[in-house]
Amino acid sequence: MTVRVVLPAALRDLAGIAGEVQVEPRGAVTRAAVLDAIEQDYPMLRGTIRDRHSLKRRPFVRFFACEQDLSQRPDDELLPGAVADGAEPFLVVGAIAGG
C-alpha cells in the first residue's frame, strides 16, 4: 500500500525532499503507521513531527487529509480510504502561528 505524503517546506529541506513523498506503511494505514514509515525512510525527521519517545504530535504540527483536520484523531485510527489507496495525500502541516 503506497501512501502519498506532503511535508511542510522546512521538513522537505531538512530531508532533502522535492515534492511529495511516497511511503509504504506496514499493516493498516493509520497515522501512526504512516509516521513510522516516514521516519524509517527519513531518519532525520525523527522528533520533528512527533516526540521521539511519547510519540505525541508536536503542538504546532497538524495532520490534514481529504479536507479534514485529523490532528486530534487517535493515532491508531484508520486514515480515509482515499489516503490508503493513494488517491489523496496525507498532509503534515506547520500550523499558522505567530502572526
Partner 1 sequence: MSRVRVLVGTRKGAFICESDGARRDWRIAGPHFAGWEIYHMKASPVNPERIYASQSSAWFGQVIQRSDDGGASWQAAGNDFAYDGAPGAPGAPGAPGEAGLHQTYDGTLIPWVFKRVWHLEPSLSCADTVYAGVEDAALFVSRDAGAGWQEISGLRRHTTGADWAPGAGGMCLHTILIDPLDEARMFVAISAAGAFRSEDGGASWRPINQGLRSEHIPDPKAEVGHCVHRLALHPSRPSTLFMQKHWDVMRSDDAGDNWHEVSGNLPTDFGFCIDVHAHEPETIYVVPIKSDQMHFPLDGKLQVFRSRTGGNDWEALTNGLPQQDCYVNVLRDAMAVDRLDECGIYFGTTGGQVYVSADAGDHWQAIAQNLPAVLSVEVQTLP
Residues 52, 94: Cα–Cα separation, whole Å: 18
Query: In whole angstroms, how close is the CB of 17 to partner 1 at the nearest point?
Result: 13
Residues 10, 39: Cα–Cα separation, whole Å: 15
Query: In whole angstroms, how close is the CB of 84 to partner 1 at the nearest point?
Result: 26
Q: Which residues bind partner 1 (CB under 8 A)?
A: 8-11, 13-14, 44, 46-49, 52-53, 58, 60-61, 94-95, 97-98
DSSP letter for each residue of 8-44: -HHHHHHHT--S-EEE--SSS-BHHHHHHHHHHH-GG
Query: In whole angstroms, how close is the CB of 15 to partner 1 at the nearest point?
Result: 8
Q: For partner 1, give the closer residue by CB, 47 or 81.
A: 47
